[in-house]
Chains A and B, each alone.
Chain A
Amino acid sequence: MSMSQQAAPAVPAPPAPGPKESDGRTARRPLALRLLARPEVGVLLGAVAVFVFFLVAAPAVRDGSSMANILYQSSTIGIMALPVALLMIGGEFDLSSGVAVITSALTASMISYQLTMNVWVGVIVALAVSLGVGLLNGWMLVRTGLPSFLVTLGTFLILQGVNLAVTKLITGNVATDDISDMDGFGQARAIFASSFDVGGVQVKITVVWWLVFAGLATWVLLRTRYGNWVFAAGGDQESARAVGVPVTFTKISLFMLVGLGAWFVGMHQLFSFNTVQSGEGVGQELIYIAAAVIGGCLLTGGYGSAIGPVFGAFMFGMVQQGIVYAGWNPDWFKAFLGVMLLGATLINLWVRRTATRR
């Protein structure tokens, strides 16, 4: 990207009129340094390191189906890590994203089952609810000017309580009823939770969605006006507003994008397990945020990428499954994650300082 600025002409061009080509004070930074300045490079190195580590430490990882399983684990984190990362670049974060996934799944499940309707009705209503939660988060944030930590902590607690209470009220149970025999289930499952065969290995469709969404998010972030606004809203909200960036719209829509992600992952959970446990999802929001931070997004906003969180989520999936394949006690998982998070943050910090130094 940084090289597309000028292509060297084959024939020496006539000297351009006007001011001279460069003021000669800034030497062109070496390629390695310019690469390091990209937000996703640090995490790429980290992901490769973790991958190689488990390839050596856990021979079972080398199997194709293990790889597919690792990628599947990564994708369920990664799909949510994407909008969470965009939101973080936009200067905010969302603590309610973990339970919002369950809210969405519960809504779809209960609407379809209780009203005995095609599951697609539930899916659409769940989409509306998820977007609504995002809208509410965003609207409260821009309306009150409170930090997103407080606003979304409130939503997190509300949704957690509502998930449990409403599910018990309606089903008399902490889980929803099995909807696998309802109209449209097969169709929905094909989209949200099917598998396909790659050389004898079953790969979950979420892996494909994950990579498609990552590509889409990257394109939006780097190649559209909206992406520019996201960076600006997170980088310096007041400046952005002063030059005419619709900061309010940008922030609210980012929260709604997180809602969209929560809906998608919620639908995946519903259509792969047929029922939903209403108490789940707590703590997942921190995993998403951690994946985004490991992926090189600045917690304070204005800096990051959509590719970085892909590697961040992959590191999570890799460690989570790798520990199992290596035959270690899975209790170590969280400790491992903590070390990884700190390590990644420090590396990012160092990389940014080194690479952006003049």
Chain B
Amino acid sequence: MTTVTETPLVELRGAGKSYGNIRALHGVDLTVRPSEVTCVLGDNGAGKSTLIKIVSGLHQHTEGEFLVDGEPVRFSSPREALDRGIATVYQDLATVPLMPVWRNFFLGSELTKGAWPLRRLDIERMKKTADEELRNMGIVLDDLEQPIGTLSGGQRQCVAIARAVHFGARVLILDEPTAALGVKQSGVVLKYIAAARDRGLGVIFITHNPHHAYLVGDHFSVLRLGTLELSADRSEVSLEELTNHMAGGAELAALKHELAQVRGVDVEELPDERDLRATAAPIPSRPSAPSHPSSPSSPEGSS
């Protein structure tokens, strides 16, 4: 899609994070380019949240490098990340439920008018802008005064995405935006992800649904137990392969083997371990220390 020589918006090189003696993330590479959707997939506890917390400025990495526009950074607050154009839309903490939609839209970046002692919110302009921006993203709300908590989950996500786009985000991080949504609402959110991408944003889409990821993704990174299990462009990986990796990859094959011993379980349609090995090839093989406590059952160890 874009040339590789271009400086990525955000790049992680061998980044990792330890909480005390727990290594939540280790040796992860990630590249985000304009007009591309980078999907980060993984099971619960795979390190997805840790990864986005580093990029969004809530936590700091303890190993490796984190570059924005090619220069190493270390954010101490989400504000700093925002100032560099990295906006995060969180799964559950995107909005303040009891506050009106327009106040939520401008929260933390309110428009004001007047000189200091009388500096006040420019309510008219904020409402107008919020309405316009939401309409541009195809979201029509009847009443911007209603508490945002009265909107549906999908609508709230969309408001949060529209907000991030409006505030000049160049990189949009979406933390499982479709996790709690129904089929139709997920579709709506995916549409806005595509809309944001078409506006030239680099999108990091965190999900554990490979189907959703494959609908909009340009690059796929699968995390497992804090390390990168797969990193592949769309052209290098099929939905089936992605699903297999997501579902546990080699572990699933082992599970299949076990299930085969159990009477009455039909394992014919499950993927073979050999297929999974083949698709796992494009990963730059990352030596994992044998003493590494969090990956006792890594595929390398079991073979």
- Residue numbers of A with Cβ under 8 A of B are 1-2, 4-5, 18-23, 25-26, 28, 219, 223-225, 227-228, 231-232, 235-236, 238-245, 302-303, 356, 358
Which single residue of chain A is at the shortest CB-CB distance from B137?
Answer: A19
Task: For residue A301, give the distance in angstroms from its CB to the closest CB of chain B.
Answer: 9
By size class, the interface of chain B is 35 or more
The answer to whether A231 touches B142 (Cβ under 8 A) is no
Could you list which residues of chain B lie within 8 angstroms of chain A, going by C-beta atoms? 56, 58, 78-79, 82, 88, 90, 93-99, 103, 106-110, 112, 119-121, 123-124, 127, 135-136, 138, 140-147, 150
A241 to B56 CA separation, bound complex (whole angstroms) = 12
Q: Given contacts A225-B121, A244-B109, A245-B107, are A302 and B98 in contact (CB under 8 A)?
A: yes
**Contact residues in B for A2 (Cβ distance below 8 Å):** 143, 145
CA distance A242 to B90 in the complex (A): 9
Cα of A19 to Cα of B230 in the assembled complex, Å: 41
Choose among A19, A23, A231, A243 the residue with the greatest number of B CB atoms under 10 Å from its CB. Answer: A243
Q: Complex Cα distance A242/B146, Å?
A: 22
B120 neighbours in A (Cβ, 8 Å): 219, 223-224
* Identity of the chain B residue whose Cβ is nearest the Cβ of A21 in the assembled complex: B140
Are B121 and A224 within 8 A (Cβ)?
A: yes
Residue of chain A at shortest CB distance from B58: A242
Shortest C-beta distance, A22 to chain B (Å), equals 5
Q: How far is the CA of A302 from the CA of B107 in the complex (A)?
A: 14
Residues of B within 8 A of A225 (CB): 110, 112, 119, 121
Q: A5-B145, A225-B112 are in contact. Are A232 and B107 (CB under 8 A)?
A: yes
The winner among A1, A18, A239 for most chain B CB atoms within 10 A is: A239
Look across to chain B and name the residue whose beta carbon is closest to the beta carbon of A227: B121
A sample of 11 inter-chain contacts (CB < 8 A) reads A1-B145, A5-B144, A224-B112, A232-B96, A236-B93, A236-B95, A239-B90, A239-B96, A242-B93, A244-B78, A302-B99
A70 to chain B, nearest CB (A): 33
How near does chain B come to A351, taking the closest CB pair, in angstroms?
14
A242/B78 in contact, CB under 8 A: yes
Give chain B nearest CB distance to A253 CB in angstroms: 16
Give A225 to B124 CA distance when docked, in angstroms.
14
Is chain A's binding surface mostly helix, strand, loop or mixed? loop
Determine if A240 and B96 form an interchain contact, defined as CB atoms under 8 angstroms apart: yes
**In the complex, are the beta carbons of A228 and B110 less than 8 A apart?**
yes
Bound together, the chains give a CA A225 to CA B119 distance in angstroms of 9
Contact assessment for B119 and A18 in the assembled complex, using a CB-CB cutoff below 8 Å:
no
Minimum distance in angstroms from A163 CB to a CB of chain B: 35
CA A336 to CA B215, docked complex, whole Å: 64
Known contacts A5-B143, A20-B140; is A239 also within 8 Å of B110 by CB? no
Contacts of B146 in A (CB 8 A): 26
Interface centre among B124, B135, B141 (most CB of A within 10 A): B135
Given contacts A5-B143, A5-B144, contact A239 B95 (CB under 8 A): yes
Checking A22, A223, A238, A358 against B93 with a beta-carbon cut-off of 8 angstroms, the contacting residue is A238
Cβ of A356 and Cβ of B107 under 8 Å apart? no
Question: Which residue of A28, A219, A356 contacts B143 across the interface (Cβ within 8 Å)?
Answer: A28
Determine the chain A residues whose CB is within 8 A of the CB of B140 once the complex forms. Answer: 19-23
Q: Quick one: given A236-B96, A239-B90, A242-B58, are A358 and B150 in contact (CB under 8 Å)?
A: yes
A-B contact sample (7 more), CB < 8 A, given A224-B112, A225-B119: A223-B123, A231-B99, A240-B108, A241-B78, A242-B88, A243-B82, A302-B99
The answer on a CB contact under 8 Å between B143 and A26 is yes
Find the B residue at minimum CB distance from A2. B145
Measured CB to CB, the closest approach of chain A to B293, in angstroms, equals: 29
A350 to B112, CA, bound (A): 35
Chain A proximity of B19: nearest CB distance (Å): 17
- Write the nearest CB–CB distance from A293 to chain B, whole angstroms: 16
Smallest Cβ distance from B281 to chain A, in angstroms? Answer: 39
Residue of B nearest to A27 (CB): B142
B99: min CB distance to chain A, Å? 6
Q: A228-B110, A356-B147 are in contact. Are A239 and B94 (CB under 8 A)?
A: yes
In the A-B complex, list the 8 residue pairs whose CB atoms are closest, starting with the nearest: A244-B108, A235-B96, A243-B108, A239-B93, A236-B96, A223-B120, A2-B145, A225-B110
